[in-house]
Structure 1
């Protein structure tokens, strides 16, 4: 009977050890996943590209002039985006030309435009990506 008690004690000890180890590693990994650090303002500025005024006719009888700042995820992406500025402007003009003045009422239209532009510009990118587009000015006439 003494041998069985020792075996049961060892099995219980091993199960507790395995359970404790598993719990430790699961919660340790969750803590690290939550430590995603937002970039500082200096890092944002360092990885951003200003696109000057983009002026075009809307599909209605109005015209629009907008400026954007594009935040990338790396210096390499910023360099590539700077070289591709003519392609970025082309995408912006085509998107704006298909829009009507009503689509710019409120923040939803601008947010939607920013998401569309981000998706299309990222399809060009090879050395990184655009993580955020900021609309820095907008004039409709």
Structure 2
């Protein structure tokens, strides 16, 4: 009787320990995957495309000079963005022509511009997607 109880307790303790080890392995693997999911700066540079400075009118007749850098999710998407340079500039002009200088002066306006541009670009992208839009130069006159 005692022997049976000891064996049952050992089996239960073994199962609990095994469950704990499996849980720890899953937690550490998940943390490692999450840390690795954000790209390094070298990866960002390799998957980015610069859009040269352009000058256009805003809705309130002010002028903006702006340059951006688009970060794609992979090499194919970067190549597609390079080919779509003229479409990107057209979309930028469309977006900016609906904004006033006041809209662009604050952080909210810049974030809105970047988000709207990213969403428009992702609608036409066939190979991958735009992950981030960075404003690299910006002057309003």
Give 1:82's aligned residue: 82
CA shift for structure 1 position 135: 1.0
Aligned 1:91-110 pairs, distance under 5 A: 91-110=91-110
**1:18–1:88 distance in 2 versus 1, CA, 3 Å:** same
Q: Output the aligned Cα RMSD.
A: 2.2
TM-score, normalised to structure 1, is 0.83
Q: Which runs of 4+ in 1 moved over 4 A?
A: none
- CA shift at 1:38, angstroms? 4.0
Structure 1 residue 24: Cα displacement:
2.8
- Mapping 1:1-141, distance limit 5 Å: 1-2=1-2, 4-6=4-6, 8-36=8-36, 38-141=38-141
With structure 2 as the length reference, what TM-score do the two structures score?
0.83
* Mean CA deviation greater in 83-92 or 34-43: 34-43
Q: How many residues align?
A: 141
Go from structure 1 to structure 2 and tell me whether the alpha carbon gap of 1:27 and 1:41 turns closer, same or farther (over 3 Å shift): closer
